[in-house]
Amino acid sequence: MPRAGMREALGAPALAMAATFLAFGAAVQAAGVGLGWALAASLLVYGMPGQMVLLAAIGTPGGALAAVPGAVAANARFVPMAVALAPWLGGGRGRWLALPFIAVTPWAMAMRRLPALPARARLPWFLGFALTSWGVAGLSTAGGHALAPLLPLWVLAALLFVNPLYFGLIIASEARAPFVRRAVLLGALATPLALLLPPAIALLGAGLAGGTLAFLWGRRAGG
């Protein structure tokens, strides 16, 4: 079953991961920071908004240390994602193997696939998918760092846009389920809130507002 997850990770998810982490690796190189830092950020943080917040702070007067709280807040979506994912990984200690890989891409695909799998196949599927995606992220970061001088800014921008396109496709393909449709609709409608909040908590604030309203709507609707 890990192979099924690995195979699935090598399609559209790999393209989305590769494009995003390639652009990150190039941005790190452009900031004059070494490959070791880039790889540690991609493989150990493994959450692009927080990585970008930290990178943007390097060389500024406050420095990267001052940006840590903002970077943590930018990745705070890990908490609700881990909560939503945990019950599908089983109650045993094995679920802790998934800890480093809880990020948007593995989470989104796992929430599509795991409910349909037998209980004992879920964790292996997730680990197969997540390890493959993680490997793609590392290789792409290194590739971006090496290729940075050859990549014009508009190519980097287009590569970064692959990521929201991919997530848009995932939520659109799942939007037939009323639960998903409500959360997506209210999350999109809550987006103006993100423009009013401090950048580090903007997305999470919109997600909390939209997601909580969608949850309450679902309770009223009985589904």
Partner 1 sequence: MQADDLALALLVLACAGMRGAGLLVAGRLAPDHPFVRWAASVSLATLAAFVTLAVVAPTGALALIPLAGRLMGLGAALAVLAWRGGLLAPLLAGLAGTLLGSVLG
Provide the 3-class DSSP secondary structure of residue 76.
coil
Q: Between the CA atoms of 39, 40, 43 and 44, what dihedral angle is there, to the nearest 10 degrees? A: -170
Q: Closest approach of Cβ 139 to partner 1, in Å?
A: 19
Q: Closest approach of Cβ 146 to partner 1, in Å?
A: 19
Q: Which is nearer to partner 1, 3 or 215 (CB)?
A: 215
The tokens describing 76, both together, are: 């705070």
Q: Which is nearer to partner 1, 108 or 137 (CB)?
A: 108
Q: Closest approach of Cβ 168 to partner 1, in Å?
A: 4
Rounded to an integer, what distance in angstroms lies between the CA atom of residue 150 and that of residue 203? 32
Q: Which is nearer to partner 1, 49 or 128 (CB)?
A: 49
Question: Do residues 144 and 39 lie in contact, with contact meaning Cβ atoms separated by under 8 Å?
Answer: no
Q: Closest approach of Cβ 84 to partner 1, in Å?
A: 4
Q: Which is nearer to partner 1, 127 or 180 (CB)?
A: 180
Question: Do residues 123 and 4 lie in contact, with contact meaning Cβ atoms separated by under 8 Å?
Answer: no
Rounded to an integer, what distance in angstroms lies between the CA atom of residue 114 and that of residue 132? 17
Q: Which is nearer to partner 1, 139 or 160 (CB)?
A: 160
Burial class (CB in 10 A: 0-12, 13-18, 19+), 76: buried
- What's the DSSP call for residue 45? I
Q: Closest approach of Cβ 184 to partner 1, in Å?
A: 4
Q: Closest approach of Cβ 129 to partner 1, in Å?
A: 13
Rounded to an integer, what distance in angstroms lies between the CA atom of residue 132 and that of residue 122? 16
Q: Which is nearer to partner 1, 48 or 139 (CB)?
A: 48
